[in-house]
Amino acid sequence: MPVDRARGATIQVLIGPSDGAANFLTRKFTIQPGGRIPRHKHPGIEHEQFVLSGTMRIGIGDDVRDVVAGEAIFIPETFLIGTRT
């Protein structure tokens, strides 16, 4: 399904409430070349992103990093994040 306010990005819930996981989510995002997910927050939720293939540029707060396949990054709950490929 498309990601709200994003361009060229879809989301698939792999584990979530329908699996009995009331407080846990595993999601898979697919971001096409040139796609992006605008800056946003997840209040009360710390999470990670793991890149399966390709590369992406992610902004976490004021920091911008390029992340490649096989890398994971930690995202604190209070930070604005946004991604692009």
Residue 82 has pLDDT above 90, yes or no: yes
Domains and CATH numbers, the chain: 7-84 (2.60.120.10)
Share of the chain above pLDDT 90, in %: 80
Chain-centre distance for alpha carbon 20: 22
- What is the predicted pLDDT for the residue at 44? 80
Query: Per-residue pLDDT tens for 36-74?
Result: 999 999 888 888 999 999 999 999 999 999 999 999 999
pLDDT band for position 78 (cuts 50, 70, 90): confident
Q: What share of the chain is helix, strand, coil (3-state, %, to 5)?
A: 5, 60, 40
Nearest Cα to Cα of residue 30 among 57, 4, 5, 3:
3
pLDDT band for position 23 (cuts 50, 70, 90): confident
How many other β-carbons are positioned within 10 Å of the β-carbon of residue 46?
Answer: 11
Query: How far, in Å, are 27, 33, 34 from residue 47 at the CA level?
Result: 11, 24, 24
Across residues 13-19, what is the average pLDDT?
93
